[in-house]
Amino acid sequence: MPRVTVVMAVYNAAQFLREAIASVLSQTYTDFELIVVDDASTDDSSAILQSYDDPRIRIIRHQTNLGASLSRNDALAAARGELIAIMDADDVCAPTRIERQVEFLGAHPAVGLVGCGVYDNIDASGAVLYTSFLPETNEAIQRALMKRWCFLHSSIMFRKVLQQAVGGYRTAFEPAEDHDFVLRIAERSQAHNLCEPLVTYRLNHNGLTVVGHQYVEQLRGILIELARRRRSGQPENLDAELPRVLALKQKRLPPQGVAGVVQGWRDSFYAANRYYGFGCRELCAGQLQRARRCFVQSLRTNGMFVKSWIGFALSFMPFVARHARFLFRSSMQQLNDHSWSPLLDGESSCLTPVAHGTAAH
């Protein structure tokens, strides 16, 4: 039996799938299996998976699309390892990712889940846009989880006995099912983020929408309230909350006609503003090339976002940018979207001296 099971849910991920799988197969730690769930992909993902002839890979194929939660739950049910590592089909593992996490869990039996506390965010080409820092200690993580998301989901490894005790991912909370799952794990064990860049996260600009952001935050409020009930010894009473969750899902349906065009413009402006905020943070940190990439991504999303044109120009003028940092601090403070850059409140020991003064995660 392998000691570790790596779980990967795949849906139309052909563009990055080979790179993601290669990063798992090239791990320095070799006692693992990789279970890939193809959730009825319609692109070349299935063909790519079938091209592998590696005994460490096991493939589960869905005939209809069931979503990420049920896909991961199917993999968890088939997992043979005592430790489970989550991996997304468009991210990249460092070669020592599994080795370092297995070592840490082996040395710290009270810790049931470990993630990656520092990681690079890359674009579709693999270029680094900015670096995220997350809370490291159990105390900081437990506080943060009751306010916001503070893990890179595709970097977590947890003990299978804990997953079996709390159950799997709950589909009602997609796309915040990871937060709900980790909250339930953290109620039974300690959690930790290693201060090492073990996974690289690929940004998906399509996920940056006004309605999507509001929806996730409203879901997060519900699942955090359920966690408060559990932690105070009360029944969570999920059934009573499900009608509210379903009502939120109905509100998320995209509008049609003119309203749809208006919503599309709002989304492009929102995404451009987010990339602009990332660029401001990198500009203040002196990372001019990364800042420039963020401003370019912002302008590709919405070419009329004037502030990104200004930021782009300043990224070529180090002296001016260094003395104009105060202009960007308000934009940096807006970087509180869980799926992009969680707020820290100074709780992370992973921060470098430069980033500690400038990060607005």
- Give residue limits of the domains in the chain: 4-201, 207-358
Pick the CATH number of 4-201 from 3.40.640.10, 3.90.550.10, 3.40.50.970, 3.30.930.10: 3.90.550.10
CA dist., res. 199 & res. 20, Å (int) = 10
pLDDT one-digit tens code per residue, 221-257:
999 999 999 999 999 989 999 999 988 888 777 777 8
Residue 183 to residues 20, 173, 282: CA-CA distances in angstroms? 27, 12, 31
- Spatial neighbors of 71 by CB under 8 A, at least 6 apart, are 9, 10, 11, 37, 39, 62
Closest CA to 305 of 293, 296, 318: 296
pLDDT along the chain (361 residues), means of 10: 97 96 97 98 96 96 96 97 97 98 98 96 91 95 95 97 96 94 97 96 79 87 95 92 88 78 85 89 87 93 92 85 60 45 42 34 25
Read off the pTM: 0.87
pLDDT one-digit tens code per residue, 41-65:
999 999 999 999 999 999 999 999 9
